[in-house]
């Protein structure tokens, strides 16, 4: 082979090699080009090296120099391409339509939040508006204005969480009755959802912080009939056709007072673990607003009468879902919450 022929061949290999390496679209194509050009057995560079033997001695240095140049360039071009193609798949993977879809995680409202919102919706339909009050209260709003005698056991530090400097954490939402009556003139129809605090152990049926919903209706000519009719209507809307019963009770701020029970929705009244065998679920405390409360709030108790109730939405969530331990509602364990998410 003459030097000229040799250099022409070297040019061709260099041109083809650079084109093959630079244009390799994926790892497979790059590897095929490497074998064709830089391969030890049949690679064109190997052939070019062997071709040096047939070059006349005088031309060998020039041919050898060109050979080294081409081999170095192609080796570098191959190396530069390796990283670029590594990230690319050999060919796009076809979609596997038999794969189950990736499960999406949906958030959901807490069961107690749902009960609160349902109760709010029912009372909104009945003309009630939503009111709120502070969780850090004074003894007067929480107890005094609500006709608790000063030595009432609830006022005792065993039941109430007192704050430094004289306040306390409200033990019920009833102080917002007083705040509402002070602020607005009758007719009043308010629903008061909120968190309340008691110095209780945290066990299967007690928690030191829990939700309550208070209702208050004050106007001229309001009687116990209004209380019963409204609360029956509420029970019907929230629990379906379930029956209710009113039992005499006592609260310092209502007179007369009554507890309302709803027939157990789990057993239909025959008795089960959820209703502790009684067939009834205690839903709320209620009564006619005591005249002393109206007067403490500056409302004329000769002219106005009213009724009020207080209930625990957690208790409703517990009986609705037959939840065995109240602490589940505080754990934020999504494995549990998912089971009763809607």
| Phi, psi values for residue 183, rounded to 5° | -95, -35
Question: 224-239 and 111-125 are packed helices; what angle lies between their axes, rounded to 10 degrees?
Answer: 130
Give residues 137-166 in contact with ligand PHE (rule: CB under 6 A). none
Cβ atoms within 10 Å, residue 309: 23
Instruction: Identify which of 218, 220, 230 has the alpha carbon closest to the alpha carbon of residue 258.
Output: 230
Tell me whether residue 123 or residue 251 sits nearer to ligand PHE (CB atom).
Answer: 251
**285 lies in the binding site for ligand PHE (CB under 6 A):** yes
- DSSP letter, residue 312: -
Stretch that binds ligand PHE, among 29-37, 84-92, 181-189, 280-288 (CB under 6 A): 280-288
CB of 174 or CB of 305, closer to ligand PHE: 174
DSSP per-residue codes, 32-72 = HHHHHHH-TTT-HHHHHHHHGGGS-GGGHHHHHHHHHHHHH
Which residue's Cβ has the minimum distance to ligand PHE?
310
- Judged on CB neighbours under 10 Å (0-12, 13-18, 19+), 180 is buried
> Which one, 63 or 178, has the nearer CB to ligand PHE?
178
Stretch that binds ligand PHE, among 33-41, 71-79, 126-134, 306-314 (CB under 6 A): 306-314
Q: Tell me the window of 135-143, 221-229, 270-278, 285-293 that interacts with ligand PHE (CB under 6 A).
A: 285-293
Kindly tell me which of 60 and 228 has the beta carbon lying closer to ligand PHE: 228
- Closest to ligand PHE by CB, 257 vs 319, is 257
Does residue 308 bind ligand PHE (CB under 6 A)? yes
Pairing mode, strands 188-197 and 129-130: parallel
Is 220 strand, coil or helix? coil
The pattern of x and - marking residues 166 through 205 that bind ligand PHE according to CB under 6 A reads ------x-x-------------------------------
Q: Extract the tokens encoding 256.
A: 């007369």
Query: Which stretches within 143-186 are classed as H helix?
Result: 175-183
Report the residue from 287, 290, 297, 326 that binds ligand PHE according to the rule CB under 6 A.
287
Residue 314 binds to ligand PHE (criterion: CB under 6 A)? no
Cα 219 to chain center, whole Å?
40
Q: How many residues bind ligand PHE (CB under 6 A)?
A: 11
Residue 213: strand pairing partners:
193, 311
The answer to whether residue 319 forms part of the interface with ligand PHE (CB under 6 A) is: no
Task: Select 256 or 271, whichever has its Cβ closest to ligand PHE.
Answer: 256
Is 286 an interacting residue with respect to ligand PHE (CB under 6 A)? yes
Q: Which of 78, 309, 318, 320 binds ligand PHE (CB under 6 A)?
A: 309
Rounded Cα distance, 77 and 150, in Å: 93
Rounded-to-10 torsion of CA 130, 131, 135, 140: -140
Nearest-5° Cα angle at 121, 119 to 125? 120
Is residue 251 involved in binding ligand PHE (CB under 6 A)?
yes
Terminal Cα distance for the chain, rounded: 85
- 79-87, 135-143, 187-195, 279-287 -> range binding ligand PHE (CB under 6 A): 279-287
Interface with ligand PHE by CB under 6 A: which range of 64-72, 88-96, 123-131, 284-292?
A: 284-292
Q: Which residues bind ligand PHE (CB under 6 A)?
A: 172, 174, 214, 251, 254, 285-287, 308-310
């Amino acid at each position: 082979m003459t030097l000229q022929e040799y250099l022409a061949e070297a040019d061709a290999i260099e041109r083809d090699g650079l084109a093959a390496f630079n244009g390799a679209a994926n790892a497979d194509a790059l590897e095929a080009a490497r074998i064709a050009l830089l391969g030890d057995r049949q690679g064109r560079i190997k052939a070019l090296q062997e071709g040096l033997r047939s070059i006349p001695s005088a031309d060998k240095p020039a041919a050898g120099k060109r050979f080294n140049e081409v081999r170095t360039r192609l080796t570098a071009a191959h190396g530069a391409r390796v990283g670029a193609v590594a990230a690319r798949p050999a060919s796009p993977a076809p979609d596997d339509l038999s794969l189950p879809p990736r499960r999406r995680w949906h958030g959901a409202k807490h069961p107690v939040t749902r009960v609160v919102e349902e109760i709010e919706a029912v009372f909104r339909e009945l003309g009630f508006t939503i009111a709120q009050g502070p969780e850090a209260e004074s003894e007067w709003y929480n107890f005094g204005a609500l006709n608790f005698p000063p030595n009432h056991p609830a006022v005792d530090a065993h039941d109430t969480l007192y704050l430094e400097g004289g306040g306390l954490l409200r033990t019920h939402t009833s102080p917002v009755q007083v705040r509402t009556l002070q602020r607005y003139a009758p007719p009043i129809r308010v629903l008061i959802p909120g968190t309340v605090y008691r110095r209780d152990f945290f066990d299967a049926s007690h928690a030191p912080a829990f939700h309550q919903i208070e209702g208050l209706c004050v106007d001229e000519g309001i009687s116990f009939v209004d209380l019963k009719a409204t609360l029956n209507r509420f029970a019907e809307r929230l629990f379906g056709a379930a029956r209710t019963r009113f039992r005499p009770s006592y609260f310092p701020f209502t007179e007369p007072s009554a507890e309302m029970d709803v027939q157990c929705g789990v057993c239909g009244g025959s008795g089960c673990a959820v209703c502790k065998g009684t067939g009834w679920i205690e839903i709320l405390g209620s009564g006619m607003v005591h005249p002393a409360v109206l007067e403490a709030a500056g409302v004329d108790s000769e002219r106005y009468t009213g009724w009020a109730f207080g209930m625990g939405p957690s208790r409703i969530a517990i009986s609705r879902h037959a939840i065995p331990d109240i602490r589940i509602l505080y754990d934020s364990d999504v494995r549990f919450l998912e089971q009763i998410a809607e």
